[in-house]
């Protein structure tokens, strides 16, 4: 099983980031964290990287249900979504497949939570590609 759900868009990086935020919000996710890896690696290591951010998205009702099933599942929350440049005017958007939670935990209640999270993230990604 792949651990990522990916869409490739013929669009610039900055407008794609805004579209991703809106698509996630439409599906009940808020962005709790944003890690700008390009800036961080440049500042800390002096290396260059394409535009690359990691958005830590969270759907509170789903997170609560997951934590009720397995308190340690917080290690896999929030849902990470990567937005990164992949050439001129091409941007990749990748979301961690929530089914990874199911594989990492023995709590059977997580399957339903992961299924709903997958459905919502897939809908957000589909909205990006039209």
pLDDT per residue over 29-72, tens digit each? 999 999 999 999 999 999 999 999 999 999 999 999 999 999 99
pTM here is 0.92
Assess whether pLDDT exceeds 70 at residue 97: yes
Find out whether 65 and 98 touch, Cβ atoms under 8 Å: no
Q: What is the mean pLDDT of residues 102-126?
A: 92
Domains in the chain, number: 1
Structural domain span for residue 57? 4-128
Find out whether 101 and 113 touch, Cβ atoms under 8 Å: yes
pLDDT tier at 85, thresholds 50, 70, 90 = very high
pLDDT tier at 105, thresholds 50, 70, 90 = confident
Q: How far apart are CA 124 and CA 128, in angstroms?
A: 7
If you average pLDDT over every residue of the chain, what do you get?
94
In the chain, count of helices (H) and strands (E)?
A: 5, 5
Comparing 1 with 93, which gets the higher pLDDT? 93
Residue with tokens 């939570």: 113
Res 1: pLDDT:
55
Q: Which residues contact 72 (CB under 8 A, 6 or more apart)?
A: 105
CATH number of the structural domain spanning residue 104: 3.30.310.70
Res 77: pLDDT:
79
């Amino acid at each position: 099983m792949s651990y990522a759900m990916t869409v490739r868009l013929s669009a610039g990086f900055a407008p794609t980031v805004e579209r991703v935020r809106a698509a996630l919000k439409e599906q009940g996710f808020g962005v709790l964290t944003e890690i700008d890896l390009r800036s961080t690696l440049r500042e800390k290591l002096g290396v260059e990287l394409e535009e690359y951010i990691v958005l830590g998205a969270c759907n509170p009702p789903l997170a609560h249900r997951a934590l009720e099933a397995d308190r340690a599942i917080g290690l896999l929350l929030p849902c990470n979504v990567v937005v990164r440049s992949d050439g001129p005017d091409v941007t990749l958007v990748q979301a961690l497949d929530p089914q990874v939670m199911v594989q990492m935990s023995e709590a059977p209640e997580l399957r339903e939570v992961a299924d709903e999270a997958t459905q919502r993230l897939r809908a957000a990604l589909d909205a990006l590609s039209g």
